[in-house]
Amino acid sequence: MYDSSDIRKNLKILLDGQPYVVVDFQFVKPGKGTAFTRTRVKNMITGAVLDKTFRSGEKLEPAEVEQLSVQYMYHESDQYWFMDTSNYEQFAIGEAQLGDQAKFLTENLVVSVTMFKGQAVDIELPTFIEVQITKCEPGVRGDTASGGTKPATISSGALIQVPFHINENDWVKVDTRDGRYVERVNKR
């Protein structure tokens, strides 16, 4: 069991049987009153965020969650298949749960998955991935300094904005948090 004094960002706790992660917390104490910890917690399954106040000394139940390092394999309709690299077990995560992250998954990419009662509840991609451009309009010679961008499709399926000098089959580094082009990378 945790105590209210253990509350920190990223602490994982169980509320009404659901796993929550603390995203923010604050020590609160009215001048003449008793102390509390006011928290903002996020449901690790639904993503719903709520404010919750704990009394000083109140007990909190830990959410028994497990972090796995898994490798992305392939997807079949809306199911994305991963393999636990420690025991080669395979399991699927639905597209709805992956959300925008699905379009940054490339074969063999290693991601971190949070498991709760045998179910994947959260997936965390590396911040930067290196992907190949599969489709974009040809670059315009001499236009490299204009700072303009054009749309390009990457091998994982996402549509991103790249500078004019990037061409099909080029490799680029992309920020998975916002799909931002970072730089061109050399890959043989």
Partner 1 sequence: MHGPATPRPTRARLALRARGLAAVRSFLDTHGSLEVETPLLLRAPAPERHIVALPVPGAGYLAASPELQMKRLVADGSGPIHQLSRSFRGGELGRHHHPEFTILEWYLPGATYREAMDQTEALVRWVAARLSPPDAPPRLDLDRPFERHRIADLFERLAGWRPGADVDDERFAFDLVDKVEPALPRDRGVLVHDYPASQASLARLCPGDPAYAERFELYLGGLELANGFTELADAAEQRARFERERTAIAAQGREPYPLDERFLAALPRLGLCTGVALGFDRLLMALAGLDDIGESTAFRWEEV
Which of these ranges, 49-57, 90-98, 139-147, 180-188, lies near partner 1 under the rule CB under 8 A?
49-57
Q: Please report whether residue 59 would count as binding partner 1 according to CB under 8 A.
A: no
d(CA 84, CA 93): 13
CB of 35 to partner 1, least distance (A): 7
Helix (H, G, I), strand (E, B) or coil at 5: helix
Question: Which of 24, 107 has the CB closer to partner 1?
Answer: 24
If binding is defined by CB under 8 A, does position 26 make contact with partner 1? yes
35 versus 65: smaller Cβ distance to partner 1: 35
Work out whether 33 is an interface residue with partner 1 (CB under 8 A): yes
H/E stretch holding 2 reads strand 2-3
User: Order of strands, edge to edge, in the sheet holding 90-94?
Assistant: 90-94, 79-84, 65-76, 110-116, 119-124
* Interface residues toward partner 1, by CB under 8 A: 24, 26-36, 38, 40, 51, 53, 55
